[in-house]
Amino acid sequence: MTDFPTTNPLMLQGLLSDENHDDWQVFVRMYQPAILRMLCSQGLQLSDAEDCCQQVFVSLTQSLSNFADDGQPASFRRWLRRVVKNSMIDSIRRSAKRPKAAENTEVWIRLTQLADNQSSFEEAWQK
C-alpha cells in the first residue's frame, strides 16, 4: 500500500551525530511522503496528518538513540511504525480536549481503532 524507502544504517548513525543537519534533510525527504500517506490512509485530513508527521520527526529527534536493530527485516520500519502510531494516539488525545465530531463518524471510528494491533494501520506497515 505505502512505499517506504530503505534506510541505510549509516544514515541513521549520521542522524545521531552533532553535524547532522544534512542527514535530517535527506531523511525527512525520504520518509515524509510515506508517513503522510499512511496517516491520511488512517482517516486524518491532510492538515492533521502534516501536524502529526511533524510531531513524528520531533519524537524521532528525541528517541532515535533508543532504536536498536533487532536483526530482523524492516527493523527500523517496525520501530518507526510505533513512533507514528504513538504520535497519532497523542494527536487523538490532544483533539479530545477540543470540540469533537460526532462519535459515529467514519474518521472517529477509524481513529479509535488504532489501539487494536490488528488494525489496517498495523497491516499496512507489514507490506
Distances (CA, A) of 85 to 9, 41, 77, 82: 22, 13, 12, 5
Q: What is the pLDDT of residue 29?
A: 92
Rounded-to-integer distance, Cα 100 and Cα 96, Å: 7
Residue 1 reports pLDDT greater than 50:
no
Residue 120: pLDDT band (50, 70, 90) is low
Task: From 27, 23, 52, select the one nearest 37 (Cα to Cα).
Answer: 52
Residue 119: pLDDT band (50, 70, 90) is low
Is pLDDT larger for residue 63 or for residue 94? 63
pLDDT, tens digit (0-9, with 9 covering 90-100), for 10-40: 888 888 877 777 888 889 999 999 999 988 8
